[in-house]
A and B are shown apart, each in its own frame.
Chain A
Amino acid sequence: MAEITERRRNWAPWLALLLAVVAVLSNAGFFVSMPGQGALVWLGLALAVAALIYAVVGVVRAFRQPQVYGGKVSSSILGFVSLLLCAFVGFAFFGARALPASAGAPKVGQKAPDFTLADSSGAKVSLEQLLGKAPGALVTAYTNSSAAADAARPPKAVLLVFYRGWW
């Protein structure tokens, strides 16, 4: 009596592709200033790792058990596309985290180094002026009068936001 092999659907490559696409799309979460961005970093990486595992499972099934699972070609193509998407996720992950150590940056309790830099109108502004310790017209930086009035009062604190620029 001939052995009857039950054919099964090889869903693993499709699941791999779905996970890889979600991993890539999860990066959109960083642009909408949503809370939990720290966790989103690891979620994206975990999705990509899971996608790679399912891609491998899909290909191995198709080639080791061709009687049960079909789709040698489709699982290979889907696996390759998933691999590309996961490579993108990996590059984004390591690229975004390749930051300098900044061991010499001012620490809590230390004095912030003073500086003088040009504002967007080209006028020189010092940290002392920003803190309201030194006289100086900060008003030039403002186009609206309520902001200009705010600038005239010394603030309780100054928040220095260093950013990457090029936006």
Chain B
Amino acid sequence: MRPVAISVDRPEQSRKLASKTGYTFPMLSDPTAEVIRRYDLLHKGGGVEGADVSRPAEFLVDSSGTVRWVNFTEDIRVRARADAMLAAAKEIK
């Protein structure tokens, strides 16, 4: 399973975060929130200083491009757990 992170952060911000945390997965940049809108995840004014950001959400997509598992938190403090995501990925043969 290949994790991919997507946010409105610019590539240089993602680069900083990756070097700080050691993340090796791709971190994609959607500063205009075009893709975030396409996935209907735009949280208007939800970010720092009223910036538009993505709401937290996870989609597990199989090799045919079909969504197999989704997770939408009701509370931004409650994050998706790695064990839940790995369990969902295990279901995909």
Contacts and interface: CB of A to CB of B under 8 A. Distances in A.
Contact of A162 (B24, B29, B47, B58): B58
Q: Is the interface of A mostly helix, strand, loop or mixed?
A: loop
B53 to A, nearest CB: 5
Contact of B1 (A133, A144, A157): A157
Interface residues of A, number: 63
Interface string B56-93: 11111111011111101111111111100100010011
Contact of B3 (A37, A105, A115, A161): A161
Contacts of B53: 164-166
Of residues B6, B18, B41, B67, which shows the largest number of chain A Cβ atoms within 10 Å of its Cβ? B67
A11 to B, nearest CB: 31
A141 B27 CA distance: 8
A53 interface: no
Contacts of A144: 24
Contacts of B13: 165-166
Interface of A: 27, 30, 33, 35, 37-38, 40-41, 92, 96-100, 102-115, 117-122, 125, 127-128, 130-133, 138, 141-144, 147, 150-151, 154-167
